[in-house]
């Protein structure tokens, strides 16, 4: 057994979560991590692996104006553009591992840059940039639409709206979140031909202008305890439709987020906790 391990490299990682949305975080700045879709699938398995919704990789920045680069892979091995809960965990990882001592850092992702600010008690504020309501940004629709023309679509016989937070979201307003067909309808909409690369599907119940409940079916994953970018998407659509205030509490299965957005022309902010669960290592 010792000889077997001697043929492999030890890779250190951290297990973290943001409101129950869990992650394996790997520092790729000072260690090599052999990456493939099959390896990610093996590691993400809940019974035989580490178990996680997403794998997060910490990498060196691509230019001097950015502090770090941030890569996200779903449990099935597909690389995705954005993860709000992951951004908070990414930030906390940098802090507890001594990779940064700044109060505010800039992070590049596959599609956009984020700004992460460290508050007290493991609360983290993320500048998620401005919501993008153009259908052509991630659907097969060629018509370009923006904020004041938020489109109402009928998909799988359900009325919904779409927005990009750097990753694609479809949001459905429901009367009672408990009875929402999250898994049954979520998988159908995720695979709809309108979304060639899939879509995250949010089910939003509006309690009042400052409070919503939300469940999210994440593409390639299924329903998760929380989805930070999904919370941002739902609130931004609610604000555009004049159903919500500029500051909204979002109740997810795993806890609460605060989303702040002043509207078109402004960046959207997400505030929530991040939790470090444990450190470990694997032989690869």
85 marked as binding residue: yes
219 marked as binding residue: yes
The b-or-e profile of 116-146 (16+ CB within 10 A means b, else e) is: bbbeeebebbbbbbbbbbbbebbbebeeeee
Axis-axis angle for helices 84-96, 228-240 (nearest 10):
130
- What is Dmax (Cα atoms) for the chain? 64
27 marked as binding residue: no
CA atoms within 13 A on the CB side of 141: 16
Q: What is the DSSP letter of 249?
A: E
54 marked as binding residue: yes
183 marked as binding residue: no
200 marked as binding residue: yes
265 marked as binding residue: no
Active site residue 141: no
Q: Is residue 172 within 8 Å of residue 202, measured between CB atoms?
A: yes
Rounding to the nearest 10 degrees, give the CA dihedral for residues 164, 21, 18, 277: -150
From the list 141, 190, 151, 146, the residue with the least C-alpha distance to 168 is: 190
21 marked as binding residue: yes
Active site residue 227: yes
Both structure tokens of 65: 């104006």
Residue in 83, 160, 170, 232 annotated catalytic: 83
Cα 277 from chain centre: 19
Q: What is the three-class DSSP state of 255? A: strand
Q: Is residue 248 within 8 Å of residue 262, measured between CB atoms?
A: no
Residue in 160, 170, 227, 232 annotated catalytic: 227
Query: Would you say how long the chain is, in residues?
Result: 284
74 marked as binding residue: yes
Annotated binding-site residues for substrate read 21, 54, 74, 84-85, 167, 200, 218-219, 228-229
* Binding site per annotation, positions: 21, 54, 74, 84-85, 167, 200, 218-219, 228-229
- Catalytic site positions: 83, 227
């Amino acid at each position: 057994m010792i000889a077997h391990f001697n043929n492999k490299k030890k890779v250190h990682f951290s297990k973290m979560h943001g409101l129950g949305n869990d992650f394996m975080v790997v520092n790729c700045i000072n260690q090599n991590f052999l990456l493939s879709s099959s390896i990610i699938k093996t590691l993400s398995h809940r019974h035989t692996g580490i178990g996680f919704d997403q794998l997060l990789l910490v990498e060196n920045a691509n230019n001097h104006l950015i502090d770090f680069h941030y890569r996200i892979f779903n449990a099935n091995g597909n690389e995705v553009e954005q993860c709000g809960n992951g951004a908070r965990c990414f930030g906390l990882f940098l802090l507890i591992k001594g990779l940064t001592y700044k109060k505010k850092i800039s992070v590049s992702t596959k599609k956009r840059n984020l700004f992460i600010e460290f508050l007290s008690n493991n609360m983290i504020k993320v500048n998620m940039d401005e919501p993008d309501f153009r259908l052509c940004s991630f659907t097969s629709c060629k018509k370009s639409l923006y904020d004041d023309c938020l489109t109402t679509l009928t998909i799988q016989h359900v009325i919904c709206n779409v927005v990009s937070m750097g990753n694609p979201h479809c949001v459905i307003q429901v009367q009672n979140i408990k009875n929402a067909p999250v898994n049954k309808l979520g998988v159908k909409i995720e695979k709809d031909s309108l979304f060639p690369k899939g879509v995250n599907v949010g089910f939003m119940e509006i309690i009042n202008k400052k409070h919503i409940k939300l469940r999210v079916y994440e593409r390639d994953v299924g329903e998760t305890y929380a989805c930070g970018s999904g919370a941002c998407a739902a609130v931004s659509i609610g604000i555009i439709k004049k159903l919500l205030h500029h500051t909204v509490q979002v109740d997810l299965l795993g806890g609460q987020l605060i989303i702040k957005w002043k509207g078109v022309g402004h960046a959207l902010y997400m505030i929530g906790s991040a939790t470090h669960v444990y450190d470990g290592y694997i032989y690869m």
